[in-house]
Amino acid sequence: MRVSVFCGTSVDGFLARPDDTFDFLDTPGAGPHGFTQFFNTVDVVVLGRRTFEVVRNLGHFGLYGKKQIVVLSSKPLDLSSIKARIEQMSGTPQEIVRQLEKRRFKHAYVDGGITIQQFLAAGLVDRITVTRVPVLIGRGIPLFGPLPHDIHLRHVATRSYKGGLVQSKYQAKRLEPRGISSKRRLVRSGKRMRTK
């Protein structure tokens, strides 16, 4: 299953202000910048609890259409009043991906600062698209956070839009489970693995 991040940030890398508002992302006259085309390729949306609360307060669940929405939370959530295909899951990013793959989902859109950071740290993100809005806000909720290891990115494309938006797309190198890389190298070289 493919896992993608598609988000807007300030130039200093914030997704939202400390109070979860993101008015600074509205750029008059900017026009479309590819989100609709991207979203049409997605069959499941994975949200963190904090992002879920923001979307619920704004009443924006209708924007997801008929896409399956998964809210990650270890605490019970009342989803009965939300008119959308929505459910709750809990677990590590690896466990979430395995559950979604078993249900034959093909492309997940991961949203929310902490959730994005957790999936990145787990080495599960395939594509990152960041649209930077020409503003500095100084503090807020960052897109990126501490990582247990380097994540190597391959630059795919960068383009600018009206209003000063600059969008960059990257392909991320997924982490392979421990031992898989060496096994593949041995298979490619035609050598047999030795066991003690």
116 occurs within a structural domain? yes
The per-residue pLDDT for range 125-137, each reduced to its tens digit, is 999 999 999 999 9
Total domains in the fold of the chain: 1
Which secondary structure element, helix H or strand E, spans residue 52, and what is its range?
Answer: helix 49-58
Instruction: Confirm whether 105 is domain-assigned.
Output: yes
**Does 15 fall in a domain?**
yes
Residue 88 to residue 2: CA distance in whole angstroms: 20
- Examine residue 146 and state whether it is found in any structural domain, yes or no: yes
Q: How far apart are CA 26 and CA 74, in angstroms?
A: 32
Whether 121 is in a domain gets the answer: yes
- Closest-CA residue to 27 (of 49, 1, 9, 40): 9
The confidence score (pLDDT) of residue 192 equals: 43
- The 8-class DSSP code of residue 51 comes to H
pLDDT tens for residues 113-127? Answer: 999 999 999 999 999
The reported pTM is 0.85
* Per-residue confidence (pLDDT) for residue 183, from 0 to 100: 42
Instruction: Report which of 38, 34, 35, 41 is spatially closest to residue 1, judged by C-alpha positions.
Output: 41
Structural domain including 108 reads 2-189
Examine residue 195 and state whether it is found in any structural domain, yes or no. Answer: no
Asked, for residue 196, whether it belongs to a domain, the answer is: no
CB contact set of 11 (below 8 Å; sequence gap of 6+):
132, 133, 134, 135, 136
Give the CATH number, domain containing residue 48: 3.40.430.10
User: What average pLDDT does range 88-101 have in this prediction?
Assistant: 97
CA-to-CA distance for 148 and 142, rounded, in angstroms?
17
- 194 occurs within a structural domain: no
Residue 92 has pLDDT above 80, yes or no: yes
